[in-house]
Amino acid sequence: MGLLNKLRVAHDRQAATPSAGGDKHPTGTPVGDRSGPAYALGVRLSNGLKEFLWHLNGIGNGSLLDLGPVWQTTVSFFVERGFKVYTEDLLGAWKEFLRVEEDRLREIAPGMDAVEMTPAARAERFLSNSLQYSPDTFDAVLAWDLLDYLDGELVPRVVTRLTELIKEGGVILAIFHSRKPDCFFRYRVVNVQNFELLPSPALFPAQRIFQNREIQNLFSRFHSSKTFVGRDQLREGLFIR
């Protein structure tokens, strides 16, 4: 990336720094550009994406699950290649779930349902209404950097659920930050080798930085995994079931 581009991205990131009064969807999911040109685009060459798509070659009528917000470009990209596209903004749903839980907590008298409010129970409750698909539904999952932001109790449960939902030979593309990200991004596919990072109002701060060993353990039930490390501190992980 040239110096000018770097400066532009830095400026754009600053412009898109989340603010309390940001324009948000009622569900709390900031999706796309609602407020105009403040959302700048950063296109990233992705070896992980290239490899991900290479694994999908030959699948004429596959099913893909995008765990970010819906984007026309991503939908069109896969639909044109014969895929059925499912979208479920899991982070947005988690945010909304926590909001409802907080409201519920306020109504519960002290001492009541104390066990039910543990992080583990909360994670179970969330998953009882999320990622509800039949086993072996998907050929591919775009998880983006979701796992960096989810609650610690939720991460292994989500990976376990995805393991069930993805077909044998199916593939997951996930992104892990190597250091605390200074901005919250959403992602969309641009073409066969690029995806776009869109600075967005933060739903959560990053919860952790995964070590390589932790990532391997999370996806231990997968047949193989590959990691691509970029100069921008993003690690792209490809996990094949």
The binding site for other proteins (CB under 8 A) comprises 25-27, 29, 31-34, 45, 47, 50-51, 53-54, 56-58, 60-61, 69-72, 75, 79-89, 92-93, 192-193, 228
> Is 43 or 75 the residue whose CB approaches other proteins more closely?
75
Q: What is the rounded end-to-end Cα distance, in angstroms, of the chain?
A: 34
**Minimum CB–partner distance for residue 126 and other proteins (Å):** 14
Give 228: exposed, middle or buried? Use CB within 10 Å, 0-12, 13-18, 19+.
middle
**Minimum CB–partner distance for residue 154 and other proteins (Å):** 18
> Is 36 or 110 the residue whose CB approaches other proteins more closely?
36
Helix, coil or strand: residue 30: coil
> Is 52 or 222 the residue whose CB approaches other proteins more closely?
52
**Minimum CB–partner distance for residue 136 and other proteins (Å):** 15
Q: Which two tokens stand for residue 224?
A: 């193989």
> Is 204 or 228 the residue whose CB approaches other proteins more closely?
228
**Minimum CB–partner distance for residue 133 and other proteins (Å):** 9
DSSP strand E in 50-115: where? 63-66, 84-87
Q: Which two tokens stand for residue 109?
A: 């008298």
> Is 31 or 209 the residue whose CB approaches other proteins more closely?
31
CA separation for the pair 8, 13 (Å, rounded)? 8
Tokens 């400066």 belong to residue: 7
CA separation for the pair 92, 29 (Å, rounded)? 5
**Minimum CB–partner distance for residue 210 and other proteins (Å):** 23
CA dist list (Å): 71 to 130, 138, 199: 20, 19, 14
